[in-house]
Structure 1
Amino acid sequence: MQSKYKIRLLRANLLAAAVALALWTPATPPAAALVLWLSVGWLFITALILDFSHRHSRGLPWQIVPGALLLGLIASAPERHSILIWAWAAMLMLPQNNWVAAFNLSATLISFVMVAPLLDGPAFILLICSLLVLGLLALSRAQQLIDMNGSIRQRLRLIPGLNLWAGEQLLRDISREQTRCEREGVHAELFILHIKRHQLWPTAQKLCELTYDFENVYRLSSTTLVTLILARSPKEASQRRSLLLADLPDNITSEHLELIDIEPATLSVCEISKLPAERVRETI
């Protein structure tokens, strides 16, 4: 099925922007040329490795790089690159964390100050008004994208074909599994894994492959995975945990909690992720 996210079109746009900046380098002052080539390199590399996924976090530190490069281009040669001030509207349209948006807004104001001496009064007022309107529209669009991506991440089944579910599904499953364990005399545990953010999706996929079809895996946060382990006895459950950890990255930390000890009616997804830590503190 053809991707509806237009990755090829976005990649083509990034490459076109890289070519345009490269053609801008002749007769450019050395400082401005350096920033231009850094920008060309960043656009080119980004276009090559670009891949859409709603799983990518909008708070990653690399999001500050394009804003810093854009500010550097304007600061290095305002008289040559003043037209790039319009690119700030596109920067503000990207889904981003609050601190990245604050940086981009501050950089936009700094760009205004550097470009102001090159414009007369009416032109500067028109520029401010136009960019203010475009900036508000861009921030509104960014918020829509953030809300949309958030709703995507909260889908119950996160990866088609795998038993990977959102944390909200865990709240529904706990009551059902508690009833079944009491009825059938099965031992059940929540096996909670704390991982690095960049390891979340590979580890989740691996965990889905290692667990049985009737044992779901749940994503509680960007650094926490949970699976329901069903076994005949606590000893067998302990052996299952050891086997799972042996096939997962070494830097993962884990905790477990017997399912019978949980009161699902009074818990949220966030509280479930904190249960093991609280339990450890109580036993110290």
Structure 2
Amino acid sequence: MQSKYKIRLLRANLFAAALVLALWTHTAQPMAALVLWLSVGWLFVTALLLDFSHRRSKGPPWQLITGVLLLGLIAAAPERHSLLIWAWPAMFMLPQKRWVVVFNALAALMSWLLIIPLFSLPEGLLLLTALITLSILSSAKACQLIDMNGSIRSRLRLIPGLNLWPSGQLLRDLNREQTRSEREAIYAELLIIQVKRHQLWAAAQKLCNLTYNFENVYRLNSQTLATLMLSHNSQEAAHRRKLLCAGLPEKQLSYHLPLIDLELSGLTVETLANFPPHPREDSND
């Protein structure tokens, strides 16, 4: 899967960028060289630690670090690095959090203030107008990427190689599995499990490993998982429930709903995720 998601290519690009910046330090002024070496170190460490993962990084957004380094490089030698002002519109092409966008916008304005003494007033205003126009166009492109990526992710597995799917897929599968269970006389039920937030991904992987290959697991929200279990009868389903829950973190809450009893019209993911949970071992098991 790493080749599919181009992790090795991205790592190679980071190493190449670090090498280019390292070569640039030979002709840079002391303060600029310091910022460049910080950039080299950041790119190098990022490339070494880069790994394909479904988890989001808990550290500062990398767009924020890039903005800080770019501002530092311009501030260190405005007369030599004034052309880097044109890198700011490219920064806004990257999908990022709103507060990071605000920070980068302020940093871009500060960069413009640092180099404005090098230009006449009309030239400076023309430069500012061009930067604002390009940044707005870049932000619009970033919004398109966010919408497109969200649409793609809603159709893809959350962890490549495992049957873990987003919540929207559950609503589509419920109708199909309910029809199939009625037609083929198979007992199907929806098992919903609530765990602590920090246990979600580990519990999801365990649940995927404990279920059959033809059974899917779904992430309803940051604390709730669900799976569609297919069994010969309710007794077998109860036995499987106990085995599944026993293999998951101890501090959990679970409940099950026979698929035949579910009224699918008007059913939402929020409704399923907010059902009153029962202790892990139900009284009727």
Cross-structure match for 1:217: 217
Cross-structure match for 1:191: 192
Cross-structure match for 1:96: 96
Give how far 1:61 is off: 3.5
CA-to-partner distance for each residue in 1:2-32, whole Å, 9 max, x for gaps? 9676655544443333223223334655544
Note closer, same or farther for the CA distance 1:132–1:9 as it changes in structure 2 (3 Å cut): farther
Secondary structure at the residue paired with 1:228?
A: strand
The percentage of aligned residue pairs carrying the same residue is 55
Cross-structure match for 1:258: 257
Contact 1:156 1:168 survives alignment (8 Å): no
Moved more, 208-217 or 256-265: 256-265
Instruction: Give the AA of the match of 2:269.
Output: V
Give structure 2 stretches of 5+ with no counterpart.
Answer: 280-285
Secondary structure at the residue paired with 1:275?
A: coil
Give how far 1:150 is off: 0.6
Give how far 1:40 is off: 0.9
Instruction: Give the AA of the match of 2:192.
Output: F
Instruction: Give the AA of the match of 1:24.
Output: W
Separation in structure 1 between the aligned mates of residue 225 and residue 110 of structure 2, nearest angstrom: 42
Moved more, 159-168 or 78-87: 159-168
Q: Kindly indicate whether residue 149 of structure 2 is the aligned counterpart of residue 149 of structure 1.
A: yes
Contact 1:181 1:187 survives alignment (8 Å): no
Note closer, same or farther for the CA distance 1:135–1:269 as it changes in structure 2 (3 Å cut): same
Give how far 1:94 is off: 1.1
Cross-structure match for 2:283: none
Secondary structure at the residue paired with 1:264?
A: coil
Q: Kindly indicate whether residue 92 of structure 2 is the aligned counterpart of residue 78 of structure 1.
A: no
5 Å-filtered alignment, 1:202-281, equals 203-221=203-221, 224-230=224-230, 232-233=233-234, 237=238, 240-248=240-248, 250=249, 253-259=252-258, 262-276=262-276
Note closer, same or farther for the CA distance 1:115–1:241 as it changes in structure 2 (3 Å cut): farther
Separation in structure 2 between the aligned mates of residue 246 and residue 7 of structure 1, nearest angstrom: 36
5 Å-filtered alignment, 1:151-170, equals 151-155=151-155, 162-170=162-170
Secondary structure at the residue paired with 2:81?
A: helix
Instruction: Give the AA of the match of 2:189.
Output: A
Give how far 1:177 is off: 5.0
Cross-structure match for 1:116: 116
Number of aligned residues = 275
Separation in structure 2 between the aligned mates of residue 230 and residue 210 of structure 1, nearest angstrom: 13
TM-score, normalised with respect to structure 1:
0.75
Separation in structure 2 between the aligned mates of residue 197 and residue 127 of structure 1, nearest angstrom: 47
Cross-structure match for 1:62: 61
Secondary structure at the residue paired with 2:265?
A: helix
The structure where helix makes up a greater share of residues is 1
CA-to-partner distance for each residue in 1:155-187, whole Å, 9 max, x for gaps? 165567643333223223335556748995847
Note closer, same or farther for the CA distance 1:225–1:21 as it changes in structure 2 (3 Å cut): same
Note closer, same or farther for the CA distance 1:138–1:251 as it changes in structure 2 (3 Å cut): farther
Note closer, same or farther for the CA distance 1:258–1:182 as it changes in structure 2 (3 Å cut): farther
Instruction: Give the AA of the match of 1:87.
Output: A
Separation in structure 2 between the aligned mates of residue 4 and residue 32 of structure 1, nearest angstrom: 37
Separation in structure 2 between the aligned mates of residue 135 and residue 58 of structure 1, nearest angstrom: 26
Cross-structure match for 1:43: 43
Q: Kindly indicate whether residue 15 of structure 2 is the aligned counterpart of residue 15 of structure 1.
A: yes
Moved more, 67-76 or 84-93: 67-76
Give how far 1:199 is off: 5.9
Contact 1:157 1:164 survives alignment (8 Å): yes
Give how far 1:146 is off: 1.0
Separation in structure 2 between the aligned mates of residue 159 and residue 265 of structure 1, nearest angstrom: 29
Separation in structure 1 between the aligned mates of residue 31 and residue 251 of structure 2, nearest angstrom: 45
